[in-house]
Amino acid sequence: MSDKEKISLLKSLQTNLEEEGCWTAEWLSEQNITLPKCGEEEEEERQLAETHKKLTDTIAELEKQEKEKEALDREYQELSAKLKEIRQNIAEGEKELQEEKKTVTPSTTTPLDLNELKNELQSNLTQILETLSGKIEHENHELTRILDKVEDKLMRKEADLQGFQEDSYLKATAPFLKQFIHLGDMMRKVVEENPTDTETSAPYLLKQFEQLIDSIDFILRDFSVEVFRHDEEDTRFDPHTQQSFDYLTDDITLDKKIRRTINPGYIWTLPYILRAKANGEAHPLKEYRMIFRCEQVECYKYMDKKQ
């Protein structure tokens, strides 16, 4: 017996049993009995599944096309709006052009030959460039000549300045050096002519040293430096012109009074210092005096012995 005959027999048997309430779909489901499917049913289910898949794909494609259509509609609306705006601008431009044509009068000038005009402009431009090139070359030559002349003057001035500096240095230092050379000669002479016996040597050296001090003061006067000392009767200390060194005492009446001069002070006079007035007018040449070194004095300083 073939499979088809067996299936037909089973179907007829199922029909008879279904009439009696057995072997129905509900009965088989309650009994948890699964019947094997025949080839036709499997084919139908397969076709149904394929149809369902195609339908799903078709629906998805339709939804996609719908979205694309909406996007195209929006783009179409935007393009339509832009086209409308462009048409309006064109219309306005044509209107303005028509108005300008009405206001412009027709020209009666004869049209120029463009090639002739181009050649003329080229010729004029070439001539201008040649003129400018000649002027620039002439200016460069003139500037080179002036720079060479200025450089020569600067070199001469530099040589003159160097000579002036050397001359000024020599003039400033030569007298001072000559005076000290002379002072050295005097000191050597004192040493050479110093008597050998003590009784004669002491007074001789004292006299010679006094002369040396006078010579030094004379040299300083040549350089506008003068010696100054305070008045011996005036024992008050002046902090502007004097430098104090303490000498202790128990007499309070002598406190801060000058005891003696240790070394004299020196005033330096700078000649030919030009000083201007407040209004800017030139002031006559005057001398400017400054304390080169304060007088060094010894002053009493009171100290109580009880302390």
DSSP 89-122: HHHHHHHHHHHHHHHSPPP-PPPP-HHHHHHHHH
Provide the pLDDT for residue 262.
92
pLDDT at 123: 85
* Residue 137 to residue 131: CA distance in whole angstroms: 10
Angstrom distances, CA of residue 205 to CA of 63, 70, 187, 216, 289: 136, 131, 10, 16, 35
Burial of 299 (0-12, 13-18, 19+ CB in 10 A): buried
Contact 22, 13 (CB under 8 A): no
Q: At 85, which helix (H) or strand (E)?
A: helix 39-103
Question: What tokens does 244 get?
Answer: 């104090």
Q: What is the DSSP letter of 196?
A: S
Q: Considering only CA atoms, which of 297, 289, 190 is closest in space to residue 235?
A: 297
Query: What confidence score (pLDDT) does residue 112 get?
Result: 53
Give the per-residue pLDDT at 101.
Answer: 67
Question: The tokens 């000559």 sit on which residue?
Answer: 178
Helix (H) or strand (E) holding 221: helix 198-222
In this prediction the pTM is 0.40
Half-sphere exposure of 87 (CA within 13 A, CB side): 6
Taking 70 as the pLDDT cut, the residues of the chain under it are 1-42, 101, 103-112, 271-287, 306-307
